[in-house]
C-alpha cells in the first residue's frame, strides 16, 4: 500500500482543493491530509474563515481523503512521515524546494496548482463585499457545512 501525505490550511474549500486532492490520491492508495490548526495558523500570522474543526470536517468529507490529522507546527513533518509509513510527501508547486530535505525518508513531489483559483483570490473578492452581504454568505456557508455533515453520516 502506497501512502501519500500533504499539508495545508484548506480554508474556503474550493475546486482547486478538490483537484489537488484528486491528483494526490492518484499517486497512491491512501491519502493523509494534515490541516493546519487554528493555533498554528495564528503563529504563521494567518486567520482562517472556518475553524480547524470545520476545515478538517470538510476535508475529511472529500472522497479522495482517507485520514485528516492536525498540523500543529513546522517540525512535525518528519515524525508524521515515519509514524504513518509515508511513501510520498506531496505539496503544491508554490512550495517547490522547501521540503527536499524530507527525501531521505520518502519521495518528495511538488504538483502544479490549479490555475485561476486560490483561497487568496477568493478572500480578496469577498473583501469587496459589504458587511450585510458577507453575513448572508457566511450563514449560507455554514448551512453547507451542516448539509455536508448530514450527507457524510449516510
Catalytic residue among 44, 98, 123, 149: 44
Question: Of residues 2, 22, 25, 46, which has the active-site annotation?
Answer: 46
Say how far apart CA 108 and CA 87 lie, in whole Å: 9
19 Cβ partners below 8 Å, 6+ apart?
Answer: 114
- CA dihedral defined by 107, 98, 37, 79, rounded to 10 degrees? 40
Is there a catalytic annotation at residue 46? yes
105 torsion bin: left (phi>0), alpha (psi -120 to 50), beta (else) = alpha
Alpha helices in 13-130 (DSSP H): 15-26, 38-43, 52-61, 77-83, 119-127
Phi, psi values for residue 28, rounded to 5°: -160, -165
44 a catalytic residue: yes
Q: C-alpha grid cell for residue 15?
A: 475546486
Residues annotated as part of the active site: 44, 46
Amino acid at each position: 500500500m502506497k501512502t501519500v501525505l500533504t499539508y495545508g490550511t484548506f480554508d474556503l474549500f474550493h475546486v482547486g482543493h478538490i483537484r489537488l486532492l484528486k491528483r494526490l490520491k492518484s499517486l497512491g492508495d491512501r491519502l493523509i491530509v494534515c490541516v493546519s490548526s487554528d493555533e498554528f495558523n495564528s503563529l504563521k500570522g494567518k486567520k482562517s474563515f472556518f475553524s480547524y474543526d470545520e476545515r478538517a470536517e470538510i476535508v475529511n468529507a472529500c472522497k479522495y481523503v482517507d485520514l485528516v490529522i492536525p498540523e500543529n507546527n513546522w517540525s512535525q513533518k518528519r515524525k508524521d512521515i515515519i509514524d504513518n509509513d509515508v511513501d510520498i510527501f506531496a505539496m503544491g508547486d508554490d512550495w517547490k524546494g522547501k521540503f527536499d530535505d524530507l527525501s531521505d525518508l520518502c519521495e518528495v513531489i511538488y504538483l502544479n496548482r490549479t490555475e485561476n483559483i486560490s483561497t487568496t483570490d477568493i478572500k480578496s473578492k469577498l473583501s469587496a463585499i459589504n458587511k450585510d452581504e458577507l453575513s448572508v454568505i457566511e450563514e449560507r456557508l455554514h448551512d453547507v457545512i451542516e448539509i455536508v455533515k448530514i450527507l457524510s453520516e449516510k
